[in-house]
Structure 1
Amino acid sequence: MNQTVVDLLERNADHAEEFESRFDDVQDSQHPAVVTVCCSDSRVLQDHMWENDEPGHVFTCANIGNRVCQRTDADEVVSGDVLYPIAHTGTETAVVVGHTGCGAVTAAYDAITGDAAGEPAGIEHAIGLLTPHLEAGVEALPADVSRTEAINQLVEYNVDRQVAALLESEAVPDSVDVVGVVYDFQDVYAERRGEVHVVNVDGETEVDALRDIHSEIAARIERRWEY
């Protein structure tokens, strides 16, 4: 057997021993408090970033670029992965989680600026879902911005666009709170790697306004780019 799989099974045995009794209340149904939409980057520790060890508490979705939409024959709609807990389990909080140095945002930036390399069709499709939402952001970037800073500014811009898509969708009730954050493991926002920084709450992106409205988390509200 592949040694990686052997190692995974050994870790799962430890997990099963620790968690065996934690599924009693959620074996037959789930009512997660929040649905998170993360990038599937292996460095983004979806549950562990919240120190979540409670089955049934966080409904996690992941894809490259933390996208909330999918394309149908008729239109672009909120992805069923994201919408399911909102529509069926009473979940009333959605958190879009971008991350510093995002490869999908980088690929979309390169596609928009004409520097894209060829990709397999599936990756091209995923990046193609991002690029229309980021084009205006690329055009608005400061002229003297470095490539690294441009990517991290667009990470925030992408989070904003995904939050907007949820807020504008008729399939998402107005009662659902939508928050956008960035997970930092590259010392972009602070020296504490792994910290989450709030950049958008229900469409509000102005830092001072957010800090006034949400004073209890003022220290966690920060942006690289207020465009």
Structure 2
Amino acid sequence: MQESFTALLQQNADHAREFQDRFDDVQDAQRPDVVSVCCSDSRVLHDHLWGNDQPGTVFTASNIGNRVVQRIDDAEVVSGDVLYPIEHTGTETVVVVGHTGCGAVTATYDALTDGVEEPPGIEHCLGLLEPYLEPGVELLPDDVDRAGAVNRLVEYNVDRQVEFLLDSDNVADDVQVVGVVYDFQDVYSGRRGELHVVNVDGETDPDAIRDAHPDVGGRVERLWSH
């Protein structure tokens, strides 16, 4: 057995000791306040970035590119991973979490600009992103470097995923949809590991978001208005 796995099992034993009493209220049902859609990336610790250690609080869904889109029989629908808590547990807030330096956005950018090919499984996932990111690639400033292009497209992708949720008939109008970017590369102002609000219910203008939501005003920041 790989040492890395046995070390994880030991850490799980520590977790089990610490969490003995934290499942008492959620063993039979869950009513999470938020569904958080994050990118599958080893540097982005999904529950950890919210400071969450309480089972039943955040319903977490992860995939490369923090997508909310799923393709079924050539039709695009809201992913069941995201829709389940909205439909079945009364969750009324969805947060789409992008992150700086996103590998999925980078790979999609490469596919769109250089025709880079990936194995079929990855190609399928990127194929769900490509039609949403392609207009953003066309809008990029001429003088932006590669890293700058990717991080602008990270925001653009968050915007498109938020937009897809808002446009879906399967997501009730009273469900709030928020888009954020997690920064561990010193791209935004603030400290490493902070989340920056870039979109609230389709509004992307930072001043408008601050005016409407002064309680989060200090965390509103965008790299790119497009």
- The residue type paired with residue 111 of structure 2 is A
SS in 1 for 2:31: coil
Query: In the TM superposition, what is the alpha-carbon distance from 1:74 to its structure 2 partner?
Result: 4.2
SS in 2 for 1:172: coil
Query: In the TM superposition, what is the alpha-carbon distance from 1:219 to its structure 2 partner?
Result: 1.0
- The residue type paired with residue 170 of structure 2 is A
**Deviation per CA, 1:139-183, whole angstroms, max 9, x where unpaired?**
011111111111100000000000001000000000100000000
Structure-2 separation of matches of 1:78 and 1:95: 14
Asked if the contact 1:107–1:116 (Cα under 8 Å) also holds between the matched residues in 2, the reply is: no
Q: TM-score, normalised by structure 2?
A: 0.98
- The residue type paired with residue 211 of structure 1 is R
State which drifts further: 10-19 or 118-127.
Answer: 118-127
- Identity of aligned pairs, percent? 69
Structure-2 separation of matches of 1:8 and 1:183: 25
Structure-2 separation of matches of 1:39 and 1:59: 14
CA RMSD across the alignment: 0.8
Structure-1 separation of matches of 2:115 and 2:197: 30
Structure-2 separation of matches of 1:8 and 1:116: 38
The size of the alignment, in residue pairs, is 226
Query: In the TM superposition, what is the alpha-carbon distance from 1:191 to its structure 2 partner?
Result: 4.6
Structure-2 separation of matches of 1:116 and 1:187: 29
Residue 207 of structure 1 pairs with residue 206 of structure 2 = yes
Structure-2 separation of matches of 1:56 and 1:116: 42
Structure-1 separation of matches of 2:51 and 2:37: 16
Q: TM-score, normalised by structure 1?
A: 0.98
Structure 1 residue ranges, 4+ long, deviating more than 3 angstroms after superposition = none
Q: Which residues in structure 2 correspond to 1:16-165 (within 5 Å)? A: 16-113=16-113, 115-165=114-164
Query: In the TM superposition, what is the alpha-carbon distance from 1:116 to its structure 2 partner?
Result: 3.9
* Gap regions ≥5 residues in structure 1: none
Query: In the TM superposition, what is the alpha-carbon distance from 1:28 to its structure 2 partner?
Result: 0.2
Distance 1:116 1:8, change over 3 A: farther
Distance 1:28 1:204, change over 3 A: same
Query: In the TM superposition, what is the alpha-carbon distance from 1:5 to its structure 2 partner?
Result: 1.1
Structure-2 separation of matches of 1:110 and 1:49: 28
